[in-house]
Amino acid sequence: MSSFDTPHRIFLFEMVNGKKKAGYGPSPGEAYERLGLRLTTMEMAQVRPDKFERVSQREFRKHIHELG
């Protein structure tokens, strides 16, 4: 599971309030699951697992103002 076997990607998940939540992992599904490691069930309910875009680390700065 190191970076050599399964490189990770960054995903921006849409939230029901129109903001976005940054998640990361080898796949969108795992990135969503990993958000649940630090967010409450109620907070996770605000995140839409099926609506996301993949962004590169380099491009992430363009999306800072969208986070919530």
Partner 1 sequence: MGVFPTKRLWLDLGDFGVFAHGGAQDLWQDHGLGVLRTIMHQAGVPTDIASTRAMRWWWQVRRAVRGYDQLFMNVRSYTFPFAYRAAKIFKEENPKGLVLVGGMHATVALDELEAVPEIDYICQSAGENVVVPLALNPESFPRIIKGISSKTLGEWPMMDRTLWPNPQRRDFPWPLEPSCGWGPPPVATVLTSRVCPWQCVFCSESSYIPNMGRKPVDQVIDELNYLDDHYGPLGSVVIYDSMFFQQPRWLEEWLEKYPKRAHKVWPYWAGGRTDTVRQWPDLFEALVRETNWDTVSLGFESGSTRVLNILNKETTAEDNDFSIDLVNELGDKMEAEGKKAPVFWANIMLGIPGETREDAFATIRMLRKMKRVLPSIAYYAPYPGSILGHQLIAEGRSNMTKDNYHRYAHDRKVKGIDYDFYDGLLKGKFDRGINAGSSKELEARLVKA
Both structure tokens of 45: 């309910």
Judged by CB under 8 A, does residue 8 bind partner 1?
Answer: yes
- 1: contact with partner 1 by CB under 8 A: yes
* Token pair of 63 as six digits: 């999306």
Comparing CB distances to partner 1, the nearer of 37 and 50 is 37
DSSP, collapsed to helix, strand or coil, labels residue 23 as: strand
Please give the C-alpha separations between residue 60 and each of 38, 42, 55, in angstroms, as whole numbers.
Answer: 20, 26, 6
Which spans of this chain sit near partner 1 (rule: CB under 8 A)? 1-4, 6-8, 10, 19, 21-22, 24-25, 34, 37-39, 57-58, 60-61, 64, 67-68
